A and B are shown apart, each in its own frame.
Chain A
Amino acid sequence: MTPKICSNSSPRSLKRKRSLKRVRLRRLIALIRKESLQIIRDPSSILISVVLPLILLFLYGFGVSLDLNHLRLGIVMEDSSPEARSLIESFTNSSYFDVKIARDRREFVDDITSGRLRGFVVIPSYFSQFRHRKSVSAPIQVIADASETNTASFVQNYAQGAYSNWLQQQVASEGLKGMPLVTAQTRYWYNEELESRLFLIPGSLAIIMTLIGTLLTALVVAREWERGTMEALMSTPIGIFEIILGKLIPYFILAMISMTICMVIAVVFYEIPFRGSYWVLAIVTSVFLFCALNIGLLISTVSRNQFVASQISLVVGFLPSYMLSGFLFEIASMPLPIQLFTYIIPARYFVQSLQTLFLVGNVWELLIKNTLYMLLLGSLLLIVIARKTVKRLD
């Protein structure tokens, strides 16, 4: 890189400038070629970019699910009046529960401790008696095993649902005019069936891309430092930006190929609806990869050692993209300092964009905002990398 040339404008120097440009382009292409050959010849890069995404997509597609369809619930029937029976029926008819019935609550204590049951409902012996008294109301106890905290809130919610159904039936059959006066009509937009897969798989694409962009790049470039071939590259007349570009472009292409494979599997095999446009998806993915690749490069430049690079990329790249991106855990529920921290995690913007592109469509305001944030983060990273690497040359 020789900036002096620019100030000169004689025809000769113009010609030189043009030829220099050509040389630069050739150098860049040669670098890209070298890097691509390295990728193709190294089995571990293929493993990370093709086999690992397939494994992860499989695991996220089947292994991770928030849909509780078979909650194991016990019912203690201390009262066997017709009312109590009809209430129990509304539980056994619900597709959410696998119900086990007992006469005594002590029978269930062991099941709860060992996790065989997630909760149980107690219909006390005085249930039907109390129902017809004015002064007291008949209690239905719902006991959930809260050591599985999320499951416990679903036990309570679904029990409430089964109870409301029963109430409505009672109102109809006994001709009671009364509760419930206000009924909530709940509608779940974009995911009527409430399948968690529909948002988990798009979100998992962000994790897979982080893995390829960050872990793979970090490992491979760190290896180059470790073996000393990076210094060899630096001693050539190639400029620092050319080296960075020469590294970024092949891995960018590799990641895009991997993304395409994942998309095909998500849409064809898992039948996740894709309501946005593929062009927008390509742009958003490119911008995200720009960030992820830069993080990988930065890690390798700082660590220069494969073991350390892999540990840092897991802690800095993979885990935040899994835990702090809103992929599985709600960001709004985290404590404020952690919430603020999520703003510098590119995966946060990518997860939201992916879920929206898949389930909603092109929501321009949200997509453009997220893309701009990622662009900003990526550019900042690029500046840091250029500085770091230049310093090392001195």
Chain B
Amino acid sequence: MLYRILTLIRKEILQVLRDPKTRVSIIVPPILQLFIFAFAATLDVKNIPIGILNWDAGEQSIELLQRIRGAPVFSKITYLSSQQEIAPFIDNQRGAVVVFIDAQFSRKLNAGEEVDIQIILDGRKSNSAQIIAGYLQQIISQYNRDFSKSIGLKQQNTVIVPRNWYNPNLLYYWYNIPSLVVILTLVVGLNITSLSVARERELGTFDQLLVSPLIPFEILLGKMIPGIIIGVLEGCLIVTIGVLVFGVPFTGSLLLLLASLFVFICSIVGIGLFISSLAKTQQQAILGTFVFLTPAILLSGYATPVENMPNWLQPASSLIPVTYMLIISKGIFLKAMPASIVLHNIWPMALIAAFTLPATMFFFRKRLG
């Protein structure tokens, strides 16, 4: 029996490697996506074009504006000359923010009065707008501190000291690459297994497998194991590129990551074969994969954090193995996550695998019968 399964596994792997289209499709798109997405999928805010409307001629406003100009997040500065220009500037997205300083600014400041400045942001991009507002707020606080010191006002003797653990410079690709390890492995593992049975069925070679001495269980194993092997290898490839090419720190245990990757792929392969056993044609398998992949990625916390979702939807994310694997991958890469926490996230995946694999077996048998 072992020999029979081994030959089937060998045949499956050869099939994937020999067909140039499949061979290319498991290597090139993931790597390409890794490179593009690592840099493109960023919620970072940089190179912001900014508009400035300054009615004040005093030196205080010039000092403040110089600080804003000097901040590295702002790139192109447009000087507006009237309030009427603000709306078209924002509407046409020539800039994401307008800073408006009143004519009384310097006079009031020198008199020691409180003074407002208007910051108008484009709510069409509310995430970036909030981050930009945060940057401006920091510049203004610093300005306040320096100004009150210079005129000898009593200081508020407190200061916020921000610290960002695990990723001190808030580099977005440090977050992205550990996540992409999971997402790309998911896509490849699912694609290979979900198409495997459907393709053989369409080509008619599945019947040949059925008349061979292999029992359904062995066929299933023979379809599953290559998916697991290729998935784990794909994951390792991306981890290697992430560490060697991108220089993302790898602080945790490689062994733990491999073990989690293995459990994760087992649960994914189960789902892939499940789709495959339901699909009559390749097209249906492709659609089925897509219908599973989209929620699996969107609800897993990859695109946006799980806690942002409405409370009634959050339980859905705990049914998706990707959610746990994302926590583990980011944890092992950046946080040196200890085994106890990793195990805490492995068992739900194992549970999902323990459910999907027998379910697939059941459906597989049924479809054969």
Contacts of A139 in B (CB 8 A): 158-161
Question: 8 Å CB contacts to B: which residues of A125-149?
Answer: 127, 130-134, 136-149
Could you list some 7 contacts between A and B, CB below 8 A?
Answer: A62-B313, A63-B309, A178-B156, A179-B144, A181-B144, A186-B119, A338-B36
- The 8 Å CB contact of A307, one of B160, B286, B298, B303, is B286
A266 within 8 A of B: no
- The 8 Å CB contact of B130, one of A142, A154, A184, A198, is A154
Please choose the segment from B222-230, B268-276, B326-334 that sits at the chain A interface, where 4 or more of its residues have CB less than 8 A away: B326-334
Contact A143 B117 (CB under 8 A): no
The smallest C-beta distance from B221 to any residue of chain A, in angstroms, reads 25
Closest to B191 in A: A311
Contacts of A69 in B (CB 8 A): 308
Contact A150 B93 (CB under 8 A): no
B168 within 8 A of A: yes
Known: A142-B160, A180-B141, A182-B144. Contact between A359 and B39, CB under 8 A?
A: no
Contacts of A161 in B (CB 8 A): 137
A188 within 8 A of B: yes
Q: B residues engaging A (CB < 8 A)? A: 21, 25, 29, 32-33, 36-37, 39-49, 64, 75, 88, 90-93, 96, 109, 112, 114-131, 133-134, 136-138, 140-141, 143-145, 147-148, 153-168, 170-172, 174-175, 178, 195, 199, 282-284, 286-287, 290-291, 294-295, 298-299, 303-305, 307-310, 313, 327, 330-331, 333-338, 341, 344
Instruction: Across the A-B interface, give the 9 residue pairs with the lowest CB-CB distance, nearest first.
Output: A191-B123, A146-B167, A157-B134, A146-B164, A150-B43, A188-B123, A65-B308, A66-B127, A149-B175
Please choose the segment from A11-19, A30-38, A329-337, A376-384 that sits at the chain B interface, where 4 or more of its residues have CB less than 8 A away: A329-337
Known: A323-B37, A359-B123. Contact between A55 and B165, CB under 8 A?
A: no
Bound CA–CA A159/B305 (angstroms): 19
Closest to A222 in B: B283
- The 8 Å CB contact of B42, one of A133, A170, A334, is A334
Contacts of B93 in A (CB 8 A): 352, 356, 366
Contacts of A138 in B (CB 8 A): 157-159
- The 8 Å CB contact of B286, one of A115, A310, A366, is A310
Contacts of A323 in B (CB 8 A): 36-37, 40-41
Contact A68 B305 (CB under 8 A): yes
Contact B138 A160 (CB under 8 A): yes
Known: A136-B157, A182-B117. Contact between A48 and B287, CB under 8 A?
A: yes
Apart from A137-B158, A157-B130, A359-B124: 10 A-B pairs, beta carbons within 8 A: A63-B298, A115-B331, A141-B163, A146-B174, A147-B178, A147-B331, A178-B153, A178-B155, A194-B129, A352-B93
The smallest C-beta distance from A114 to any residue of chain B, in angstroms, reads 5
Contacts of A48 in B (CB 8 A): 287
A29 within 8 A of B: no
In the complex, the number of residue pairs spanning A and B with C-beta atoms less than 8 Å apart equals 333
Bound CA–CA A56/B291 (angstroms): 9
Closest to A199 in B: B124
Bound CA–CA A170/B158 (angstroms): 11
A257 within 8 A of B: no
The smallest C-beta distance from B341 to any residue of chain A, in angstroms, reads 5
Bound CA–CA A201/B138 (angstroms): 31
The smallest C-beta distance from B124 to any residue of chain A, in angstroms, reads 5
Contacts of B330 in A (CB 8 A): 147-148
Known: A131-B158, A141-B161. Contact between A338 and B40, CB under 8 A?
A: yes
Contacts of B116 in A (CB 8 A): 182-185
Known: A148-B305, A191-B126, A333-B42. Contact between A133 and B157, CB under 8 A?
A: yes
Bound CA–CA A308/B153 (angstroms): 70
Contact B127 A150 (CB under 8 A): yes
The smallest C-beta distance from B22 to any residue of chain A, in angstroms, reads 9
A41 within 8 A of B: no
The smallest C-beta distance from B71 to any residue of chain A, in angstroms, reads 14
The smallest C-beta distance from A192 to any residue of chain B, in angstroms, reads 7
Bound CA–CA A281/B148 (angstroms): 52
The smallest C-beta distance from A361 to any residue of chain B, in angstroms, reads 8
Bound CA–CA A192/B129 (angstroms): 11
Known: A167-B156, A188-B129. Contact between A149 and B171, CB under 8 A?
A: yes
Contact A189 B120 (CB under 8 A): yes
Contact B153 A363 (CB under 8 A): no
Bound CA–CA A331/B220 (angstroms): 45
Contact residues on A (Cβ < 8 Å of other chain), bracket = 35 or more
Bound CA–CA A151/B118 (angstroms): 26
Contacts of B120 in A (CB 8 A): 187, 189
Q: A residues engaging B (CB < 8 A)? A: 44, 47-48, 52, 55-56, 59-60, 62-72, 110, 112-115, 127, 130-134, 136-154, 156-157, 159-161, 163-164, 167, 170-171, 176-192, 194-196, 198-199, 219, 223, 306-308, 310-311, 314-315, 319, 323-324, 328-330, 332-335, 338, 352, 355-356, 359-360, 363, 365-366
Known: A149-B171, A179-B144, A363-B91. Contact between A113 and B338, CB under 8 A?
A: yes
- The 8 Å CB contact of B341, one of A113, A182, A356, is A113
Contact B91 A330 (CB under 8 A): no
- The 8 Å CB contact of A189, one of B90, B291, B333, B338, is B90
Contacts of B141 in A (CB 8 A): 160, 164, 180
Contact A196 B119 (CB under 8 A): no
Closest to B99 in A: A184
Closest to B35 in A: A338
Contact B115 A153 (CB under 8 A): no
The smallest C-beta distance from A112 to any residue of chain B, in angstroms, reads 7
Bound CA–CA A65/B147 (angstroms): 39
Contact A179 B145 (CB under 8 A): yes
- The 8 Å CB contact of B91, one of A178, A195, A198, A366, is A366
Known: A147-B175, A147-B334, A330-B43. Contact between A185 and B118, CB under 8 A?
A: yes
The smallest C-beta distance from A289 to any residue of chain B, in angstroms, reads 20
Contact A147 B166 (CB under 8 A): yes
Bound CA–CA A198/B122 (angstroms): 12
Contact B170 A355 (CB under 8 A): no
Contact B335 A147 (CB under 8 A): yes
Bound CA–CA A113/B171 (angstroms): 18
- Most chain A CB within 10 A, of B49, B96, B304, is at B304
Known: A149-B167, A189-B121. Contact between A140 and B43, CB under 8 A?
A: no
Contacts of B305 in A (CB 8 A): 68, 148, 151
Contacts of A198 in B (CB 8 A): 123, 126
Contact A179 B171 (CB under 8 A): no
